[in-house]
Homo-oligomer: A and B are copies of this chain.
Amino acid sequence: MNIADLIPEYRSEINNGLADIYPRGPISLTKPVAYVLNGGGKRLRPLLTIFSAEACGGTKSSVFSAALAVEVLHNFTLVHDDIMDQDSIRHGQETVHNKWDDGVAILTGDAMLSLALRLLNETPVESHLQMKIFIDGLLAVCEGQALDKEFENQSSVSLDDYIKMIDLKTGYLIGLAAELGAVSTGMDSGICEKVRDYGRLIGRAFQIQDDYLEIFSNSLNMGKSLESDIVLGKKTFLMIQALEKDTDIINSALELARNNFEKGIGNIRLYLENEGIKKRAQEEINNILKLADNKLNDLPIDKEKLLYFSKIIKKRGN
């Protein structure tokens, strides 16, 4: 079966697995957990875990619970981040804290994290190492989110600091998704690290793409509310460069966006195009994706599915 046909199959298996992970518990937890895990999402991270295992000669079944753990971990971060960022829409549906309240959302996230850990601890192979990778990734995600919030209150942020932040916030989790797959096969640590680095770069490109789409896409395509991120003064790959070039123009466009979102964002879009920042962002995404693929060069693994994965990410931006 070709990879394009395989993906919907894997995705549906993942969705079935997720539907079933928390059948019994207090209704104020089981309901929002099911709501989140049945709420959609492209399941890119667990797909990557499975692809990476298969690339290294492993099987889907031996890495399946780890793949589910990765997706649940990812969704845990979304539930908590959405509270902090006051986002009201995620994957096209109301966020948990909006539909219920902050307390329910905090606890739903906490429970999801323990469910993710339980799934990972059930994994049949290399469990101690997998747990270490998972836990380090969890801390990295927290640190990335902390830096992201810190940046909101800073008038200027360097691109280097920004890249460090998104590596923690987005890159490490996609990196661990890839690494868990490789590690589950008992591959040499040198190879596992290369596969991890591939995933981290994919994550970096993914986040810059997110930044790009946040401004140039509309919220319907993104399945989440964009206004809040921009109005909160989130520092993104594009906004940092725009602020560096002309703080006054951008700050007044942001001010305008707070009252009249379409008009303010229109001004920002125009500025990013005219100054070449939009084009440079697209180029950067493509460069990082190439760097990611290069990490796989000369590895004694079957790269096909991973290279296909990079293409999925690339297509997402177009």
Residues of A within 8 A of B (CB): 25-29, 80, 83-84, 102-104, 106-107, 109-111, 113-115, 117-118, 121, 127-128, 131-132, 135-136, 138-139, 142-143, 145-147, 149-150
Residues in B neighbouring A127, C-beta threshold 8 A: 128
Q: Which of B83, B118, B149, B150 contacts A139 (CB 8 A)?
A: B118
Knowing A102-B83, A106-B83, A128-B127, say if A121 contacts B146 (CB, 8 Å). no
Bound complex: CA A136 to CA B136 (Å) = 20
Residues in B neighbouring A118, C-beta threshold 8 A: 135-136, 139
Bound complex: CA A102 to CA B118 (Å) = 27
Bound complex: CA A84 to CA B107 (Å) = 9
Residues in B neighbouring A111, C-beta threshold 8 A: 139, 142-143, 146
Evaluate contact between A107 and B27: CB separation under 8 angstroms. no
Evaluate contact between A26 and B143: CB separation under 8 angstroms. yes
Evaluate contact between B28 and A146: CB separation under 8 angstroms. yes
Bound complex: CA A128 to CA B117 (Å) = 12
Evaluate contact between B114 and A142: CB separation under 8 angstroms. yes
